[in-house]
Amino acid sequence: MKAKKLNRLREAMAAADLPLQKTATNLVFGEGNPSAKLFFIGEAPGKKEDLSGRPFVGSAGKHLDALFDSIGLARGDVYITSLLKYRPPNNRCPTRPEIEAHTIFLIKQVLIVNPQMIVPLGNFATRFVLGGFSVDKMAGIPGISALHGQAVKMNLARRHFLVFPLYHPAAVLYNFGLKKTLWGDFKSLNNLAFAPM
Ligand code: URA
């Protein structure tokens, strides 16, 4: 049922006239367990994702896989997507109109999967989610360095979610200190998401 709804949404998105569509090779809609408890949101597809049509298959994805492995999870256990679903040229930062247009589909995706916990990765996804899934409120939200590793309760269309922001796995690859922080935060996420009730 959820898988069917996600497929229909993917088809609607592929058929829509959206920013970045013309310069991208593939739509990178997202993938994973349609009933996942954990829903990860990255920033935008990179080169490898653009070519394959799959999220997080490059070096950031390998880092993410290692993090999943460290808490006994596989990709198929979670749902993974990004704020933008077409690659921005040269991996530049997302613009406001791009975020506005693409996240109409992200919000629908979240409501279909209906996870317990949303995990935004990096500044853009964190500001969008904690701004109430609104581009207008993004500017007033602090950056990831102030928000990572702390759970916040959020509502979307009268559903309740726990939001747990993390550093983007690509952003910390070459910074040993931040990498350590991300791994520590991932442990906290595991305790929070899978602690016995
Ligand atoms: N970074 C992201 O934010 N998303 C991807 O799909 C790949 C890299």
pLDDT tens readout for residues 122-156: 999 999 999 999 999 999 999 999 999 999 999 99
Beta carbon of 44 within 6 Å of any ligand 1 atom: yes
Residue whose C-alpha is closest to residue 56's, from 33, 85, 19: 85
Q: Is 138 helix (H, G, I), strand (E, B) or coil?
A: helix
Strand partners, 42: 82
pLDDT at 81 > cutoff 80: yes
pLDDT of residue 178: 97
Beta carbon of 50 within 6 Å of any ligand 1 atom: no
Question: What is the mean pLDDT of the segment spanning 145-168?
Answer: 96
Query: Which is the closest atom of ligand 1 to the Cα of 121?
Result: 3
Query: In angstroms, rounded to a whole number, what is the distance separating the alpha carbons of residues 83 and 89?
Result: 15
Question: What is the mean pLDDT of the segment spanning 95-121?
Answer: 98
pLDDT of residue 195: 76
Query: In angstroms, rounded to a whole number, what is the distance separating the alpha carbons of residues 61 and 73?
Result: 14
Burial environment of residue 197 by CB neighbours within 10 A (0 to 12, 13 to 18, 19 or more): exposed
Dist. CA 155 → ligand 1 center (Å): 25
pLDDT of residue 163: 98
φ and ψ at residue 59, rounded to 5 degrees: -65, -35
Spell out the domains of the chain, with CATH numbers in brackets: 2-193 (3.40.470.10)
Beta carbon of 83 within 6 Å of any ligand 1 atom: no
Residue whose C-alpha is closest to residue 28's, from 93, 116, 99, 87: 87
The total number of residues written for the chain in this structure: 197
pLDDT of residue 196: 65
- Higher pLDDT among residues 28 and 197, named by residue: 28
Q: What is the pTM of this model?
A: 0.97
Q: Residue 172: which pLDDT band, with cuts at 50, 70 and 90? A: very high
Where b means 16+ CB within 10 Å and e means fewer, 21-46 reads eeebebbbbbbbbbebbbbbbbbbbb
Dist. CA 172 → ligand 1 center (Å): 13
pLDDT at 197 > cutoff 70: no
Query: Which is the closest atom of ligand 1 to the Cα of 57?
Result: 7
Beta carbon of 170 within 6 Å of any ligand 1 atom: yes
Beta carbon of 41 within 6 Å of any ligand 1 atom: no
Dist. CA 58 → ligand 1 center (Å): 8
Angle between helices 176-194 and 59-70 (to 10 degrees): 50
